[in-house]
Amino acid sequence: MFADKLGELLQENLLRFVRDREAPPGRAADLSRIFIDGNELINFASNDYLGLAGHSTLTRAAREAMETFGFGSGASRLLAGGTSLHGELERAVASFKGTESALVFNSGYAANTGALPSLAEEGDTLFSDELNHASIIDGCRLSRAKTVIYRHRDPDHLAELLEREGGRRNVVVTDTVFSMDGDIAPLGDIYTVCARYNARAGASSVLLYIDDAHGTGVLGDGKGALSHFGIGPEPWILQMGTFSKALGSFGAFIAAERDTVQWLLNTARGFIYSTALPAAVIAASMAALQTVREEPLRVKKLWENRARLHEGLQAEEFDTLQSETPILPIVMETSGEALRFAEQLGKHRIYAPAIRPPTVAQPRIRLTVTAAHTFEDIDALLGALASIRKGRRV
């Protein structure tokens, strides 16, 4: 039925395949390495920014929770599928993010597609950055509110649109770190726009919803984007974050004031109709938060590695767009070129797959450096990139 369409994708260099990684032979998991078809490659495609996915503290906590609570949870949280660990994690997240309360979701996608339709109804308006993540786009589509797109990282355009298109209630939603470009939203300026509008029109006229999936554990000494910009939590700010990236576990959360969290608990379909995350996953997330607090040098090492890679890419004059984070794209002209470049990297024992439309408008190799990489790993990547470029027809 879909053979012709699959053929079209193949012709356009847009056909995708799953490449599952194998278990590391005889040693603990380390996502700075990836094993595919029996070969070990240095992995520059992981979002495990702090190198926690294989950390013994997380795996031990997960094992102990599984032995205590079993693995499957059996039901949604509202049907007692949760455990005492779930509430404990939510209190820990609220403390970590400086909010009154928090609610755990099964994924960042479930959080965004569940929360945004609950926050903005018919008669309301959602204001979304044009490069926001697909889960935000889908959350806006599921809402009955009007959606208005503002230019990427342009608070002046946002302010203009708020004045012209504002509804009964308005929700400004932005990624903090844009996952394909590696740039950071100008959150200080966006905060100012929202605060000014609220001061004039009423404290609840604008909600600011930030997707801090790639900021949590990375920005602000690990606490996230608000800390990075020196912004204190406000009753009208909601922070979505994930456990599945820098925190090395799985799932997501929204941290906000108590009434907002209670509203989401009662209305967010992604929470209500999902089986609760297993206790083992929750325990691993708890251990990850504790580790970030107790091992601040992990964040420091992440940014040292980012600086080394960025400097090397700049020296080789690779186009990394406006990246400010451990996400460093190398832009290509065509999808075919990106695929060939990724294949050549593989021959140099480097894993960094091509990212192509519709995920991004411009094909690219998306590099992510982590705290688990060594300087030798980074230098190997830079050497491979230089070698491939010299061997290409320019």
Active site residues: 179, 214, 245
Edge-to-edge strand order for the sheet containing 101-105? Answer: 101-105, 252-256, 237-242, 206-211, 170-175, 125-129, 146-150
Q: Could you count the other beta carbons within 10 Å of the beta carbon of residue 39?
A: 11
Reported for 256-263, long-range contacts at CB under 8 A and 24+ positions apart, including other chains, are: 256/99, 256/100, 256/101, 256/102, 257/99, 257/100, 257/101, 258/100, 258/101, 260/101, 260/235, 261/100, 261/101, 261/102, 261/103, 262/101, 263/118
Surface-to-core class of residue 37, CB atoms within 10 Å of its CB (0-12 exposed, 13-18 middle, 19+ buried): exposed
Bridge partner list, 233 = none
List phi, psi (to 5°) of 120: -130, 120
Q: Cα–Cα distance between 238 and 216 in angstroms, integer?
A: 14
The number of C-alpha atoms within 13 Å of 153 and in the hemisphere containing its C-beta is: 11
Lookup result for tokens 């779930």: 86
Lookup result for tokens 């408008």: 361
List phi, psi (to 5°) of 354: -75, 140
Q: Cα–Cα distance between 305 and 295 in angstroms, integer?
A: 16
Q: Cα–Cα distance between 122 and 144 in angstroms, integer?
A: 5
Chain centroid to Cα 391, Å, comes to 34
